[in-house]
Amino acid sequence: MNQKNNRFLFIAVAATILAIFAARTDFGFLDFNPQDAQKKAGIAKLNQVLNVVNKYYVDSLNWQDVSTGAIEGLLKTLDPHSVYFDPVAVEQNEEQFSGHYYGIGIQFDVLDGYITVISVISGSPSEAAGLLGGDKITRINGTSAHNISVAEVPKKLKGPQGSEVQVTIKREGLKPFEVTLIRDEIPIFTINTYFKADTHTGYIWPGRFASTTADEFEEALQDLEKQGIDRLIIDLRGNGGGYLRQAVKLAGMFIAGHKKVVYTKGRLSRFDETFYTDDFGRSPERDYPLIVLIDHSSASASEIVSGAFQDYDRALIVGERSFGKGLVQNEFELDDNSRIRITVSKYYTPSGRLIQRPYKGKNIEEYYLEGVSDSIKTDTSEVKPLFFTSAGRKVYGGGGITPDVEVAFETYSKARAMTARFNAKRIFFETAAAFVNGHPGWKMSFKKFKTSFHVSRSLLNTLRQTAKKKGVKFKAIDFHKDELYIKNRLKAEIARNIWGAARFYEILLEYDNQFQKALDLFPEIDAFLHVQR
């Protein structure tokens, strides 16, 4: 896994924007006009096929599977973003966007057959009980957890608020010991990290737009403003979207007055809506410079935010062309608690741009691969609709958001195959966990760690030995030429072990070329945007 893939865990196929969640509808019988010959013939043909299969198919039928297959096949003919969710997937999806769940509060992986704590969520039952990164859970409620699948872990560790779960912990240098954890509400933070990048600049990275994102963002922003920032980088790379209203609220934090952020148009007029900057209350007026980072995985709600900023010349958009997803979905709940998510409208930026890329005539794999491909250039001969920003700059619809300043991501790993193997076998993680256990003094101050900690030759040798012990083969010349990446990744892993994922990402950004370019561009913002401040 290269640095970019490691940083952006979002998978493009999840790109979505939801306007209304889980509308329950009395669907009744299919309503079609008998005069509509094409529709009538299609329904009759489908009914005929079902009857033939029911009468003559050689084996017994699982009609639940038949109906699911038929639903999924139907939705695939509509567009790439209309999908079906079975009841289990519905529950998982609700948890992702609700902003909380009930459990013990760890980020984990299954390593060598054991649940391994990657990091402990702040304020969780696991933190209160003293669990640490690197701990292995060997038993759950007295039953061995060895060789448990990743999918099974949440089923064992999550549960009702206030319920107990007993785990047996194996920690380096200690005998196994038991811990009783009381499950509690675990917040799912959508701000991956935020920090003061230099004397003037704040940085905030929202990973998706869930129900709590705008509130989280405002809290982070106020904290940074108290620290004295007077300019901001908003990182929407890898952000595949979420709730439309959360995107509108975020845009309203920086666009003053009563201005259009986005509007939607559907076949039915009830899905036509216009959203304004002050629809959800007024924010403090903020006029300091903004830079927004986007990439090929920035989609839907992320494109609403960056599109509005670009149309009003409010921010400099930097990075790579965004995904190009301008369709709005509603979810409709079926009788068995499954749901269908179907496109009910299209959204348009304030200037009138439809961001959606063409999808007709393309299979699902082709559509998504095209969206995240570097081979799609913005200077293509394909004619795209022309629009203008408030300051008169040219912008285009029909193919995502094109950055004002294009900066391709450049991984600084020189031996990517080797470091991918290190990541896959958790070599950085295990080396970091062992280091932290033996050097508790670094836990006192992240600020001191960030500025003063340097990966020593001894620690590099430990990493080499850990790799060899785990059977990871590599060439000495590859290790040597990739030493810069290895040191940064190992430092980031140590930070994650002590302070969590937010500090992990902060350390990784030290060698992120798009982020560093954004820092350099602030003096030139006005020239790019042709605006007077």
Please state whether beta strands 231-235 and 290-294 pair in parallel, antiparallel, or not at all (unpaired).
parallel
CB 264 within 8 A of CB 347: yes
Q: How far apart are CA 239 and CA 223, in angstroms?
A: 22
Q: How far apart are CA 371 and CA 379, in angstroms?
A: 16
Residue 478 lies in a domain: yes
Same domain, 230 and 255: yes
Same domain, 178 and 202: no
Same domain, 276 and 261: yes
Q: How far apart are CA 253 and CA 464, in angstroms?
A: 48
38 contact partners, CB below 8 Å, separation of at least 6 = none
Q: How far apart are CA 143 and CA 524, in angstroms?
A: 61
Write the DSSP symbol of residue 325. -
123 contact partners, CB below 8 Å, separation of at least 6 = 105, 187
CB 329 within 8 A of CB 22: no
Query: What's the pLDDT score for residue 510?
Result: 94
Same domain, 305 and 437: no
Q: How far apart are CA 520 and CA 358, in angstroms?
A: 35
CB 492 within 8 A of CB 376: no
Same domain, 362 and 216: yes
Residue 35 lies in a domain: no
Q: How far apart are CA 297 and CA 473, in angstroms?
A: 32
Identify the three-state secondary structure at position 228: coil
Cα 337 to chain centroid, rounded: 26
Same domain, 316 and 374: yes
Containing structural domain, residue 180: 100-187
Instruction: Please choose, from the candidates 338, 412, 255, the residue with its C-alpha nearest in 3D space to the C-alpha of residue 88.
Output: 338
Residue 105 lies in a domain: yes
Print the SS3 string covering 162-213. Answer: CCEEEEEEECCCCCCEEEEEECEEEECCCEEEEEECCCCEEEEEECCECCCH
CB 133 within 8 A of CB 117: yes
Residue 167 lies in a domain: yes
Phi and psi at 4, nearest 5°, equal -65, -45
Q: How far apart are CA 420 and CA 373, in angstroms?
A: 20
Residue 157: which CATH number? Answer: 2.30.42.10
Query: What's the pLDDT score for residue 98?
Result: 63
- First-to-last alpha carbon distance for the chain, in angstroms, is 43
Residue 381: which CATH number? Answer: 3.90.226.10
Q: Within the chain, what is the greatest distance between any pair of CA atoms?
A: 81
Q: How far apart are CA 339 and CA 219, in angstroms?
A: 33
Same domain, 304 and 387: yes
Assigned token pair, 376: 């799609």
Q: How many domains does the chain have?
A: 3
Q: How far apart are CA 479 and CA 466, in angstroms?
A: 13
Query: What's the pLDDT score for residue 97?
Result: 65
Residue 355 lies in a domain: yes
Same domain, 262 and 367: yes
Same domain, 396 and 272: yes
Same domain, 405 and 436: no
Same domain, 365 and 427: no
How many CA atoms, within 13 angstroms, populate the side-chain half-sphere of residue 253? 20
pLDDT (tens, 9 = 90+) of the chain, 533 residues, equals 344 443 333 333 345 666 544 444 544 555 556 567 888 888 889 889 999 999 999 999 999 899 999 999 999 889 988 989 888 777 777 766 666 678 998 888 888 899 998 878 877 898 888 888 888 999 999 999 999 988 889 889 999 999 999 999 998 878 999 999 999 988 778 999 999 999 999 999 999 898 899 999 999 999 999 999 999 999 999 898 989 999 999 999 999 999 999 999 999 999 999 999 999 988 888 999 999 999 998 999 999 999 999 999 999 999 999 999 999 999 899 888 889 999 999 999 999 999 998 888 888 778 877 777 665 444 444 678 999 999 999 999 988 999 999 999 998 899 989 998 898 788 999 999 999 989 989 999 999 999 999 999 999 999 999 999 999 999 999 999 999 999 999 999 999 999 988 999 999 999 999 999 999 999 999 888 876 55
Query: What's the pLDDT score for residue 41?
Result: 87
> Looking at the DSSP assignment, which residues form a beta bridge with residue 109?
116
Helix axes 501-508, 483-499, angle to 10 degrees: 160
Phi and psi at 58, nearest 5°, equal -65, -35
150 contact partners, CB below 8 Å, separation of at least 6 = 109, 110
CB 253 within 8 A of CB 283: yes
Phi and psi at 516, nearest 5°, equal -65, -35
From the CB of residue 248, how many other CB atoms can be counted at a distance below 10 Å? 24
**238 Ramachandran zone, left/alpha/beta (phi>0; psi -120 to 50):** left
Q: Tell me, what amino acid is at 366?
A: E
Residue 55 lies in a domain: no
Query: What's the pLDDT score for residue 11?
Result: 34
> Looking at the DSSP assignment, which residues form a beta bridge with residue 23?
332
Same domain, 357 and 270: yes
| End-of-domain residue from the set 187, 211, 236 | 187
CB 341 within 8 A of CB 331: yes
Integer Rg of the chain from CA: 25
What b/e string do you get for 501-518 counting C-beta neighbours within 10 Å, with b at 16 or more?
bbbbbbbbbebbebbeeb
Residue 9 lies in a domain: no
| End-of-domain residue from the set 137, 170, 187 | 187
Helix or strand run (H / E) with residue 100: strand 100-103
Query: What's the pLDDT score for residue 186?
Result: 83
Write the DSSP symbol of residue 78. T
